[in-house]
Amino acid sequence: MAGIISKTYSASGTGGILSDSAPAADRGSGLIRALTLVPATALVVGVMVGTGIFLKTAVMTQALGRPSLVLAAWGAAGLLSLCGALAYAELGAMMPQAGGEFVFLRAAFGDGIAFLYGWMRYVVGAGAIAAFGVAFASFLGGLVPLGGPWVEGTFGILGNTFHPAFGERQLVAVAVIFAAAAVNLAGVALGGGFQTVVTAAKVAGLAAIVIGVFFFSRGGSWAHFSPVGTLPAAGLSAFGAATMGAFWAYSGWNYVAMAGGEVARPERNLPRAILAGTVLVVLAYAAVNAAYFYALPAAEIAASSSTRYPEAAPVATKASEVFLGGRASAATGALFLVSVVGGLNGVVLAVTRLPYAMARAGLFFAPFGRLSRRTRVPVVSIVIAAVWASVLACSGTFDELTNMAISGYALFYALTAVSLFVLRRKLPDAPRPYRAWGYPAVPALFVAGMLLLLGNAFRTNVLEASAAFALIALGIPLYASFRRRPAPAVPDERA
DSSP secondary structure, 163-215, as one string? --EEEHHHHHHHHHHHHHHHHHHT-HHHHHHHHHHHHHHHHHHHHHHHHHHHH
Reported as a pLDDT band with limits 50, 70 and 90, residue 353 is confident
Task: List the beta bridge partners of residue 160.
Answer: 157
Question: From CA 322, how far away is CA 296, in angstroms rounded?
Answer: 8
CATH superfamily name and code, 8-483: Amino acid/polyamine transporter I (1.20.1740.10)
Question: Which SS3 state, helix, strand or coil, does residue 38 take?
Answer: helix
Higher pLDDT among residues 412 and 258, named by residue: 412
Reported as a pLDDT band with limits 50, 70 and 90, residue 156 is low
Lowest mean pLDDT among 117-131, 358-372, 420-434, 439-453: 117-131
Residue 472 has pLDDT above 90, yes or no: no
User: Would you list the DSSP string of 407-464?
Assistant: HHHHHHHHHHHHHHHHHHHH-TTS--SS--TTTTHHHHHHHHHHHHHHHHHHHHSHHH
Mean pLDDT rounded to a whole number for the chain: 80
Question: From CA 124, how far away is CA 117, in angstroms rounded?
Answer: 10
Q: What is the pLDDT of residues 188-239, one digit of tens each?
A: 667 667 778 888 888 898 999 999 999 998 878 888 887 665 555 567 788 8
Terminus-to-terminus CA distance in the chain, angstroms? 11
Residue 21 has pLDDT above 70, yes or no: no
Contacts of 78 (CB under 8 A, 6+ apart): 246, 250, 282, 285, 286
Contact between 35 and 264 under an 8 Å Cβ cutoff? The reply is: yes
Distances from the Cα of 192 to the Cαs of 47, 50, 144, 278, 349, in angstroms? 12, 16, 29, 18, 9
Higher pLDDT among residues 488 and 76, named by residue: 76
Q: What are phi and psi of 234, to 5 degrees?
A: -105, 150
By DSSP bridging, strand 160-162 and strand 149-152 are unpaired
Reported as a pLDDT band with limits 50, 70 and 90, residue 164 is low
**pLDDT recorded at residue 332:** 85
| Amino acid in the structure at residue 278 | T
| The residue count for the chain | 495
Q: What is the pLDDT of residues 267-319, one digit of tens each?
A: 888 888 888 889 999 999 999 999 999 999 988 998 888 778 877 888 988 99
| Amino acid in the structure at residue 465 | A
Q: What is the pLDDT of residues 45-73, one digit of tens each?
A: 877 887 788 888 998 888 888 898 999 99
**pLDDT recorded at residue 228:** 60
Region 451-456: mean pLDDT is 84
The whole-model pTM stands at 0.75
**pLDDT recorded at residue 29:** 39
The domain ranges of the chain are 8-483
By DSSP bridging, strand 155-157 and strand 160-162 are antiparallel
